[in-house]
Chain A
Amino acid sequence: MRRDDSRESDAPDKWEVQLRKGCLELAILASLWSGRLYGLEIIRRLESESKLTVSEGTVYPLLSRLKALGLVQSEWVESEAGHPRKYYALTPAGKQRALEMARIWSRFSSSLDLLLAPLGPAK
């Protein structure tokens, strides 16, 4: 049977979306590893340190979900800017989850590197 060309050309984008989706939770937990941050700081850290650029409207509901799952906790702190900011920090369960996810990621990434070696360096 002939395959749909347009669907085929979409495939790498969809794959990238799935890949980013899978990484976003780990990326947010990892960004909080060294200490508490507020939403905009998390977004900027994701952009500057991982090139994981996602819409701002995506990050806040996800932070809310991580809080509901008990992986992060939050507190309001007055800022010098004149308005309070909501800071997020990892809970012990969040740290545990981040470590587990990082371990799985490292194992997966290094085993895939071996398989990808014959393809040469990525352009």
Chain B
Amino acid sequence: MTISNDSRQMIDAYLEQVRKGLRGLREEDAREIVEELRSHILDRAGSGGEVTPAGVGSALAALGDPEALASGYMTDDFLARAESTRMPWTILRAAFHWATLSVKGFFVLLFCVVGYMFGGAFFLAALIKPFNPKVGLWMLGNDTYSLALGMTDYKPQGHELLGWYLIPIGCALGGGTILLTTHFALWSIRRFRQARSAARIGRGLR
């Protein structure tokens, strides 16, 4: 198969744009995607034995906008990882990527951050309680409550309400909040992925 210089430059320029859009993926994954696309372009453009600029142009047009193509990989990668691992970190990464694409994604990210922070705080309170009596749900007077985590020298004025019950309650609330946040995030992500997939296939119908 022979490739003209013009054809090679066209392919390299297109793949460079795809690679830019793949920032954030593991280097090995990004390289494999780019090499697979290069192989596809060469196969499609060089079916007659020679890769011409016209053939490359047609192959690139069929692949579509390089940024949109890269975005498809990125989103699918983040969302698939989030769904398969179900770990808060991968879910937050997926939500963050989604937030860069739409307002809805921003609100899902906000919800996840707040949910995981609250869940983490409840867990932390339960974990620290045996070592620091300041930790607990304090009634400060005038119907004012405060969940003191003992991170500062500030000593709440009032009395602590939960005592040792803070440990099981903190674990249950922490676990529940994290679980609920994860379920909501995965449900949102699944809907978002379905919508994106439908939109992409809609654009791809010929």
Enumerate chain A interface residues (CB-CB to B < 8 A): 13-14, 16-18, 20-21, 24, 38-40, 53-58, 60-62, 64-65, 68-70, 81-86
Contact = CB atoms under 8 A, between A and B. Distances in A.
A84 B39 contact: yes
B151 to A, nearest CB: 39
Interface of B: 1, 32-33, 35-40, 42-44, 46, 62-65, 68-69, 72-73, 76-77, 80-81, 84, 194, 197-198, 200-206
A24 B43 contact: no
Contact of B77 (A17, A68, A81): A68
B77 to A, nearest CB: 7
Contact of A64 (B33, B46, B64, B65): B33
Contact of B206 (A55, A57, A81, A83): A55
B197 A21 contact: yes
B97 to A, nearest CB: 14
A20 B203 CA distance: 12
B114 to A, nearest CB: 28
Nearest to A47: B206
A12 to B, nearest CB: 12
Contacts of A83: 1, 38-39, 42-43
Interface residue SS majority, chain B = helix
B1 A81 contact: yes
Given A65-B80, A81-B46, A86-B36, A54 B73 contact: no
Contacts, number: 100
A69 B81 CA distance: 8
A64 B77 contact: yes
B63 A56 contact: yes
B76 A62 contact: yes
Contact of B44 (A21, A24, A40, A68): A40
Contacts of A68: 76-77, 80-81, 84
Given A20-B201, A40-B44, A83-B42, A53 B77 contact: no
